[in-house]
Structure 1
Amino acid sequence: MRSVTATAAQATSFARSPRTGKLVLKLAAVAAVVTLSGCSLFSSKKDPNPPAPLVEFTQKLRVQTAWSVSVGKSGSFQFSPAYAAGSIFAAANDGSVVRINAQNGQTLWRSRTDMDLTAGVGTDGSTVVVVGQKGRIQAFDATSGKPTWSAQAPSEVLSSPAVGEGLVVIRSIDNRVTAYDADNGSQRWMVQRNVPSLTLRNAPGIAIGSQTAFVALPGGRLSALALNNGGPRWEVPVGDPRGTTELERISDVSGVPALGSRDICAASYQGRIGCFDLLNGNVRWIKEFSSDVGVNLDDAYVYAADISGAVTEFARDTGAVIWRNDRLKNRVLSAPIAVGKAVAVADYQGYIHFLSREDGAFVARLSTDGSAIQAPPVSTGSSVVFQTKSGTVVSVVAE
């Protein structure tokens, strides 16, 4: 579930319906729940924002499931797969961790932690890292699946660990970014960031490259930290907190920043979308946008789904809108991802929709297990891999 988390000093929190994307206000003191619908605090029996019905179209693209593997349910957390060393690594809330051959779906090993997990897998192909209850970190050898070390994060972790260049970098919900040695788990550095009064209870991610950790943060900030000591290289505002209430001012960066060779792109909730220079953070382009699932990119384009359910393709160099498909309204979409001649995006019913890269028209559709797909998909180069809330990891190819 996508939700909004208050600081410990506050008595309220907010959650988003996985079906409609609406905000739900939970009053902890009186255990009352009401639905925010427009300007009213009272819900009606009729959904004011119903999911768009599936569009009928002539299928023009051949898509198929290459393989699927059951890993385990996500529970109330978000679990996304990771791709490295020719394998897909995935985890589940019950503590299961698996390595799957990305070509044929063969399970190479399956391990089980002694704790419930709270986020997806991080790996560089050598070390596999998961996080569990109360911020406990567990690492495995990627070849054998055997546990190698464990460590303790400062608080609960909802984002997948980032593993690369000899480090494991983790952001906990108290907004501390901590780096651990990938070989033995010893802490290398820690950076404390300010915590906004209200934040989305989602999984803003971390990308590692060029000896830098690029960290998506609550409050709409994208921060570049030096891997050797956590020192700041640059920081830019992707979000632009505005409004008269704390709820209106939520502008967290969403999803995992999309890392290119010379730029990095990101989007925020109630904020903006943009691409920035990798070395100094200079703005290449930025536009008004609201997303809670993040972005993906390829050599020429940036793909993003906004909170209303519209999918947009932007020119990567200028930010110009190439096309926009708004016929998946209120279907609670995943981040889109390029696959072959199409852009794939999943929804709350487990459908994967394929849109033409040229004009955004529907070209194919594929069903999975019927449960929501909200976690970021990953590309293997020849396929894309999604993980459903019910725990199916599915590899899809498009021709």
Structure 2
Amino acid sequence: MSGALMQTHGRFERQVVSRPRSRALDTLWRATLLGGVAVSLSACSLFGSSKEAKPAPLETFTPALNASVQWEARIDSVKFPLAISAQDKQFVVGDSDGQLTALAADTGTPNWRVNVGKGLSAGVGSDGRFAAAVTRDNELVVTEGDKILWRKTLTTPVITSPFVAGERVFVLTLDRVVLAYDAQDGRKLWELRRPGEPLTLKQSGVIGAYQNTLVVGQGSRLAGVDPNRGLLLWEATVANPRGTNEVERLADLVGPMGRDKEVFCARAFQSAVGCVNADRGSAIWTRNFAGTQGVSVDATLVVAADGSDRITAWGTRSGDVLWTSDQLQNRKLSTPLVTAKAVIFGDSEGYVHFLSRDKGQTIQRVPTDSSGVVTAPVLLGNTVLVATRNGRLYALRQD
């Protein structure tokens, strides 16, 4: 097994991670850890009920970008927190029936398929060679192409996609424990168990890497971890939780996070958006900004939406507000994707919105099916892939 994470196909250099209470009531559950037992509580029981706001009507606009559907594919419905892996000119996805599929990015042609036998509780992690997923029975399954290599039952639920690199599989459990396994034979290599938070979110966390450092969310902090021994190297605070009780102070980092070179940016649930320098292991900036979805980043922009789907863009290195946009309010936006040509969001009615990078104005809109976009858009080459709740995959090209 390689001692350095970035030596396996160079994967780490290519790995990519304010909503009021009303949005949280509709979409989130919490898990409270009492005596080592995870008890799920509905968000409504924690915060009370709230009438859903009416989505903003679609505005008229003058197209300033050509965007079209390049290909479509079908998987089973998406009833779990799906994340799409993009590696080696292919997208790897999972569905509610437990089938993993690798699709060629340019054509959508399946390169391989394998059924792990059970529905999934989280998305698929892949480095192009190995793929890893966790089933609803809490079983970690690792494949090499269409061959299942091994299975291992986990003791704590997982809803964050496994992270695969350096011939290792890294798992972030619901209580934010990090587990490391050998990708080829399933040997457990180490476990990092941080002091537990009274409450943790039943929502995907953040996990990725910078060079030979594993980067994970631990409560409201981003942490650098030695991937060989599981030792904590550094911690950087993204949010300073405030409130009179544990619910109000809940500020877990939620995925996906964004990355540009050494800069990692993440959303602390209902609290803040902030960026960290992984070279130094220190915070660059943090801004109070309540919301529940992840962020997207490039060298210039950090973009996120708040709980009413008002969108803000900050300077990546400065944290200064560059623009705000409110034309997509209450449309239940996905995590965004920042590309060289546009800022892209999906919404609950199945539209994919392309916003200008300089002002956040709508420059294109592409419909999918009406079941709603349920994943963060994922970029591979010139292809952007989105998935809908009904299991439709749409590959879009920006020209």
User: Under TM normalisation by the shorter chain, which class is it?
Assistant: 0.7 to 0.9
Aligned partners of 2:52 and 2:342: how far apart in 1? Answer: 32
Aligned partners of 1:48 and 1:104: how far apart in 2? Answer: 39
Q: Which segments of structure 1 move beyond 4 Å, counting only runs of 4 or more?
A: none
Name the structure, 1 or 2, with higher relative contact order (CA <8 Å, separation 6+).
Answer: 2
Provide the secondary structure at the position in 1 that maps to 2:279. Answer: coil
Partner of 1:314: 314
Partner of 2:28: 3
Cα deviation digits, residues 328-358 of structure 1 (max 9, x gap): 1122211111234211101111211110011
Partner of 2:87: 84
Provide the secondary structure at the position in 2 that maps to 1:258. Answer: strand
Partner of 2:152: 151
Does structure 2 conserve the Cα–Cα contact (< 8 Å) formed by 1:211 and 1:228? no
Provide the secondary structure at the position in 2 that maps to 1:7. Answer: strand
Query: Which letter maps to 1:13?
Result: L
Aligned partners of 1:11 and 1:263: how far apart in 2? Answer: 35
Aligned partners of 1:207 and 1:311: how far apart in 2? Answer: 25
Q: CA deviation at 1:100?
A: 0.2
Structure 1 spans left out of the alignment, 5+ residues: 16-23, 27-33, 38-46
Partner of 1:13: 41
Partner of 1:63: 67
1:109 matched to 2:112? The reply is: yes
TM norm structure 2: 0.88
Q: RMSD across aligned C-alpha pairs, in angstroms?
A: 1.9
Q: 1:121 aligns with which of 116, 121, 124?
A: 124
Aligned partners of 1:391 and 1:114: how far apart in 2? Answer: 18
Aligned pairs (5 A) from 1:1-399: 2-9=27-34, 13-15=41-43, 24-25=44-45, 35-37=48-50, 47=51, 49-75=53-79, 77-142=80-145, 145-217=146-218, 219-399=219-399
Cα deviation digits, residues 155-185 of structure 1 (max 9, x gap): 1110001011221111111321101111211
Aligned partners of 1:240 and 1:308: how far apart in 2? Answer: 22
Does structure 2 conserve the Cα–Cα contact (< 8 Å) formed by 1:135 and 1:172? no
Aligned partners of 1:277 and 1:258: how far apart in 2? Answer: 12
Q: CA deviation at 1:192?
A: 1.2
Q: CA deviation at 1:11?
A: 7.0
The answer to which of 158-167 and 232-241 deviates more is: 232-241
Q: CA deviation at 1:108?
A: 1.6
Q: Percent sequence identity over matched residues?
A: 31
Work out the number of aligned pairs and report it. 371
Q: CA deviation at 1:258?
A: 1.9
Aligned partners of 2:333 and 2:171: how far apart in 1? Answer: 25
Provide the secondary structure at the position in 2 that maps to 1:374. Answer: coil
Q: CA deviation at 1:295?
A: 1.2
Aligned partners of 1:227 and 1:186: how far apart in 2? Answer: 14
Aligned partners of 1:71 and 1:205: how far apart in 2? Answer: 25
Does structure 1 conserve the Cα–Cα contact (< 8 Å) formed by 2:174 and 2:201? no
Cα deviation digits, residues 190-226 of structure 1 (max 9, x gap): 0112333333321112112311111123x31211111
Aligned partners of 2:387 and 2:154: how far apart in 1? Answer: 25
Does structure 1 conserve the Cα–Cα contact (< 8 Å) formed by 2:284 and 2:317? yes
Provide the secondary structure at the position in 1 that maps to 2:137. Answer: helix
Aligned partners of 1:294 and 1:281: how far apart in 2? Answer: 21
Q: CA deviation at 1:137?
A: 0.8
Provide the secondary structure at the position in 2 that maps to 1:109. Answer: strand
Provide the secondary structure at the position in 2 that maps to 1:376. Answer: coil
Q: Cα gap change, 1:167/1:48 in structure 2, threshold over 3 Å: closer, same or farther? A: closer
Query: Which letter maps to 2:63?
Result: Q
Query: Which letter maps to 1:86?
Result: K
Aligned partners of 1:70 and 1:48: how far apart in 2? Answer: 30
Provide the secondary structure at the position in 2 that maps to 1:332. Answer: coil
TM norm structure 1: 0.88
Aligned partners of 2:228 and 2:201: how far apart in 1? Answer: 29
Cα deviation digits, residues 16-56 of structure 1 (max 9, x gap): xxxxxxxx227xxxxxxx9423xxxxxxxxx4622222222
Does structure 2 conserve the Cα–Cα contact (< 8 Å) formed by 1:78 and 1:158? yes
Structure 2 spans left out of the alignment, 5+ residues: 1-25
Does structure 2 conserve the Cα–Cα contact (< 8 Å) formed by 1:163 and 1:208? no
Query: Which letter maps to 2:378?
Result: V
Aligned partners of 1:48 and 1:78: how far apart in 2? Answer: 22
Aligned partners of 1:362 and 1:116: how far apart in 2? Answer: 37
Partner of 2:13: none
Q: CA deviation at 1:289?
A: 1.3
Does structure 2 conserve the Cα–Cα contact (< 8 Å) formed by 1:224 and 1:233? yes
Partner of 1:29: none
Query: Which letter maps to 1:89?
Result: V
Cα deviation digits, residues 278-324 of structure 1 (max 9, x gap): 12322222211123221111122212222220222211110111111
Aligned partners of 2:62 and 2:257: how far apart in 1? Answer: 34
Provide the secondary structure at the position in 2 that maps to 1:255. Answer: strand
Query: Which letter maps to 1:14?
Result: S
Does structure 2 conserve the Cα–Cα contact (< 8 Å) formed by 1:275 and 1:284? yes
Q: Cα gap change, 1:48/1:177 in structure 2, threshold over 3 Å: closer, same or farther? A: closer
Aligned partners of 1:226 and 1:305: how far apart in 2? Answer: 32
